[in-house]
Amino acid sequence: MKEFETFLKTVGDGLKMLAQGVNAIADRLDDFVESNKGGTAGSRTNARTATSGKETSRRAAGRPGPRGKKGASASDHVYEAMSRARGPVTIDMLAEKTGFEKKKLHNILYRLKKQGRIENVSKGVYRKV
């Protein structure tokens, strides 16, 4: 019986942590939707609905999908966007120009740095080499 009580306590603690994580994610989604709608805050339910999928979140944020030549890689799209920028660019600028999520941009920028095509100017700011 004591083992069962210990098990239930562990499950309960896990559910509490999961609920806290879900609340943190919902808060971030609210902030994301609010920042991309020019400051008009929606309800928590609307924020979750507006960002349920990648294409939906791009449309909800008012951003187009990835652009560029057909068949070009994501790295090429980002590199082209940096070329058009004429100087250092931030992650936010690249996200706006390419339509890619920030996580994907971080991965692409890491790849481009490894290839020696770009360099860090400062934290979150990059330029072509």
Band of residue 46 on the pLDDT scale cut at 50, 70, 90: very low
For helices 91-98 and 74-85, angle between their N-to-C axes, nearest 10 degrees:
110
The pLDDT of residue 38 is 57
Choosing from 10, 30, 60, the residue where a domain stops is 60
Residue-wise pLDDT for 16-42, tens only, equals 888 888 878 877 877 777 777 654 444
The residue range of the domain holding 8 is 2-60
pLDDT exceeds 80 at position 112: yes
Judge whether 67 lies within some domain.
no
For 97, residues 6+ apart whose C-beta sits below 8 A from its C-beta are 81, 84, 85
CATH of residue 108's domain is: 1.10.10.10
Residue-wise pLDDT for 54-77, tens only, equals 444 444 444 444 454 556 789 999
Domains contained in the chain, number: 2
pLDDT exceeds 90 at position 1: no
